[in-house]
Amino acid sequence: MNTPDDIFHPLNSDIAPPPRMSNPFCYDPHPLCLLAMEQARALLFAAASDNAELRKEVDSGKMIGVLVVRNIDGATGFLAAFSGQICGHDSLLGFVPPVFHYLSPDGHFKKEEAAISAINREIASLSGSTLMAQLRNNLAKAEEETRQKVDEHRKAMAAAKARRDDMRAKGMLTESDKEAMTRESQFMKAQLRRIKAAGRTAIDVARQKLDAVNAKINAMKTERQRRSDALQTWLFDNHAMLNAYGEAKSLTEIFRDTVMRVPPSGSGECCEPRLLQYAYANSMQPLCMAMMWVGASPQNVIRHDGAFCPACQGRCKPILQWMLKGLDVDPDCTETADDNDNQLNIIYHDDDIAVVYKPAGMLSVPGKDNRPSVYSIMRGRFPQATGPMMVHRLDMSTSGIMAVALNTDSYHNLQCQFAAHEVRKRYVAVLSNMPDGVAPGQQGIISLPLAPDYMHRPCQMVDHDHGKPAITRWTMLDNCHIELFPETGRTHQLRVHCAHKEGLGTPIKGDALYGTKADRLYLHASEITFRHPRTGKNMHFSVVPPFTMRE
C-alpha cells in the first residue's frame, strides 16, 4: 500500500521551476521534468527488475508521466503516474493512485464485470450449442423439403397439362372426358396450395423454435448492454475531477457539453488527470508536467521509446481544460501558428492558375480562428477568382509549392488530375537519423493504409482493416536526406510512412507529432508537375528547400 511518503519524491535540485504551469498539449520538457522523468523511469524499471510479468508489460509499451509539485511544506518534488492499468492493477508502489479505485475484487465494478462476463459466456454457449445448430438445420430442412415438394408437384402439373392438351388436340372428347380433365386440373391446383400451406406450417414451426432461442439470446444481449452502459455511467459519475479552485465535476458532467456527449472508454485514467488529481487532493501546487512513452510502439499508432508525448486530444482535452482551471498555464502552441516568415510568394500566375510557395507555419485553408492562410491570402489577391480555389493542401508545418485554381473550370480540371494520380509531386525531407538497413541511393515503396486517430487528433494511424490506401515511393540520399514521391494524398501520409515501424521506422526531423520537436518540420514540397487546365501544356515548378541539403 502506497503512503504519501512513497508517492511524493523530493527533487534535490537548485533548478528554478518555470514561471507558469507547462501546457500538457504542447510543451518542451522543463529541466525539472527531465530530472523527475529519469527518476520515474528508474522507479518503474526497479519494480520490473524482479517481476517478469511487469517487465513484459513495460517492454510492450506504457505511458508514464511526472508532475513537479511544491508540497504544503514548500518542498519541491515530483509525482509519477502510469496510464490505465498495469498487470491488471491500478496501483504501483511509488506511483499515484487512480482518481477512483474501482478494481477491488469485492467491489461493485468487479461484481458487475463478473455478471457481464457470465452473460457473455451464456450467450456464446447458447449461440454455439448443439440445440442451436439442430434448430437451424431443422429450419433449413423444412424449407428445402417444401421447395422440393412444390417443385415435384409443379412438374406433375405440367405433365398432366401436357397430356390434357394432347388429348384436346386429337379431338373426339366426350363431355365426361372434359369434366374429368377440368376436375384433374382443379384438384392439382388445390393440391399445390395444400402442399405450400403444409410447408409454410412446417417452416413456421421450425422458425418459431429457432426464434425462441434467438429471442433469449437477444434478451441477454440487451441485458448485457444495459448493465455495461450502467456500469460505465457509474464509473464516470464516480470520477470526481478536481481543479485548482477546489471544484469538482464528474466525467459525465465534463463531457456533457462536448461534441462527444459521453466520455470515451478509459477517460480519467491517463497520467495527466491522475497526477493533477493527487496534487489537488493533497494541497500540492503543480509546477510543470511531462509524459513519456516507455517500451515498444503499439501496432497502429506511432510511439518511440523514451520520447516525450503531449496529452491526447480525445479523452484528455475536455478533462484537462477543467482540471487546469485556476492555474496559470502556458498557451497551447497547437492552436497558434509557428513564428516563421508568413509571406506567401507567388511563383507563377495567369488567368487560370497560380503557383505559390507556402512557408512552414502557414495554414493552407482557414482554421478555427482568423489566422492568414493560403486561401485567405489568395482570395484577397485575386478577388475576381471563382470556385473553391484550393485543389490540394500542405500541412501547416510543411513548406513548399502549391497549385491554386483561379476559376471553377480550372479547379475541376486540376481536381480530376489529382484524382487520376496524374499530378507528380516531389518532397524533400531530413530524417532524424538514417533508417536501419537503408543506404544512400536505396529506393523503396511504402504501402500502409491510414485512418484518423480520433483520440489523438490531428494524428493519423496505420489501420490495415479500415484505413484508406496510402502509397509513397522514396529514394534515400545521404546525410539523412530523403526524396519522397507520394502516389496518394492522405493526411500526414509522408510523416507517418517515415515514422511508422512498418515504414522507414524513422520520423522526419522536427516532427512534433510522430517524433521529436525541433526548430521546424524538415519536410518541403519541392516540385510539382501537372497539365495546364486550359492549354494542356506540361507545367513544372520547383523551389529549393529552406533547409540546406547538406546539414
Is the residue at 389 inside a domain? Answer: yes
Give the pLDDT score at 336. 52
User: pLDDT at position 342, please?
Assistant: 53
Q: Are 448 and 299 spatial neighbours (Cβ–Cβ below 8 Å)?
A: no
Of 219, 235, 251, the domain-final residue: 235
Report the run of H or E that residue 321 belongs to, with start and end: helix 316-323
418 and 479 both lie in a single domain: yes
Q: Are residues 130 and 74 in the same domain?
A: no
Residue-level pLDDT at 251: 95
Same domain, 192 and 229: yes
Task: Check whether residue 524 and residue 376 sit in a common domain.
Answer: yes
Statement to judge: residues 404 and 488 lie in one domain: yes
- The reply to whether 255 and 319 lie within a common domain is yes
Among 235, 251, 282, the domain-final residue is 235
Phi, psi of 521 (to 5 degrees): -80, 120
The answer to the question of residue 549 being in a domain is no
Q: In this structure, is residue 114 part of a structural domain? A: no
Which residues, in sequence order, are bridge partners of residue 288? 68
DSSP assignment, residue 286?
E
- The whole-number pLDDT of residue 50 equals 85
How many residues are recorded in the chain?
551
- Of 187, 215, 235, the residue that ends a domain is 235
CB 476 within 8 A of CB 407: no
Catalytic residue among 151, 166, 339, 395: 395
- Domain membership of residue 548 (yes or no) is no
Q: Are 42 and 182 in the same domain?
A: no
Look at residue 334 in the predicted model and tell me its pLDDT. Answer: 57
The contacts of residue 373 (CB under 8 Å, 6+ apart) are 362, 363, 364, 365, 366, 367
Beta-carbon contacts of 476 under 8 Å, excluding residues fewer than 6 positions away, are 435, 438, 439, 440, 441, 442, 443, 482
Which stretches of 144-185 are assigned E, i.e. beta strand? none
Q: Which of 35, 89, 36 is nearest to 62 (CA)?
A: 89
Confidence at residue 1, expressed as pLDDT on a 0 to 100 scale: 59
Grid cell locating 308: 516525450
- Domain at 357, CATH number: 3.30.2350.10
How high is the pLDDT of residue 447?
Answer: 95
Same domain as 164, residue 66: no
Domain interval for residue 385: 345-542
- Per the DSSP assignment, residues forming a β-bridge with 474 are 444, 484
User: What is the Rg, in whole angstroms, of the alpha carbon atoms belonging to the chain?
Assistant: 34
Sequence-distant (≥ 6) Cβ neighbours of residue 495 within 8 angstroms: 395, 507, 508, 511, 513, 514, 521, 523
Does residue 202 lie within any of the structural domains? yes
Residue 463 contacts residue 454 (beta carbons within 8 Å): no
**Counted domains in the chain:** 3
> 393 and 295, same structural domain?
no
Looking at the structure, tell me whether residues 134 and 202 fall in a common domain: yes
Nine cell digits for residue 136? 437451424
Query: Does 8 share its domain with 70?
Result: yes
pLDDT score recorded for residue 341: 41
Asked, for residue 336, whether it belongs to a domain, the answer is no
Per-residue pLDDT for the chain (551 aa), expressed as one digit of tens each? Answer: 567 778 999 998 999 999 999 999 988 899 999 999 999 999 999 988 888 888 998 888 999 999 999 999 999 999 999 998 888 888 888 999 999 988 888 889 999 999 999 999 999 999 999 999 999 999 999 999 999 999 999 999 999 999 999 988 888 888 898 999 999 999 999 999 999 999 999 999 999 999 999 999 999 999 999 999 999 999 999 999 999 999 999 999 999 988 888 898 889 999 999 999 999 999 999 999 999 999 988 888 888 888 898 898 878 999 999 999 999 999 877 555 444 445 899 999 999 999 999 999 899 998 777 788 999 999 999 999 999 999 999 999 999 999 999 999 999 999 999 999 999 999 999 999 898 889 999 999 999 999 998 878 888 999 999 999 999 999 999 889 999 999 998 999 999 999 998 999 999 999 988 888 888 999 999 999 999 999 999 999 999 998 864 44
Q: Let me know: does 290 contact 108? Beta carbons within 8 Å.
A: no
Q: Count Cβ neighbours within 10 Å for each residue of 344-359 and write b for 16 or more, e otherwise.
A: beeeeeeebbbbbbbb
Strands 523-531 and 399-405: parallel
Q: Please indicate whether residue 338 is annotated as part of the active site.
A: no
Q: What is the pLDDT of residue 170?
A: 86
Q: Does residue 107 sit within a domain?
A: no
d(CA 5, CA 403): 61
Specify if 340 maps to a domain: no
Is residue 396 domain-shared with residue 530, that is, in the same domain? yes
Alpha-carbon distances of 156 from 144, 147, 149, 163, 189, rounded to whole Å? 18, 14, 11, 11, 11
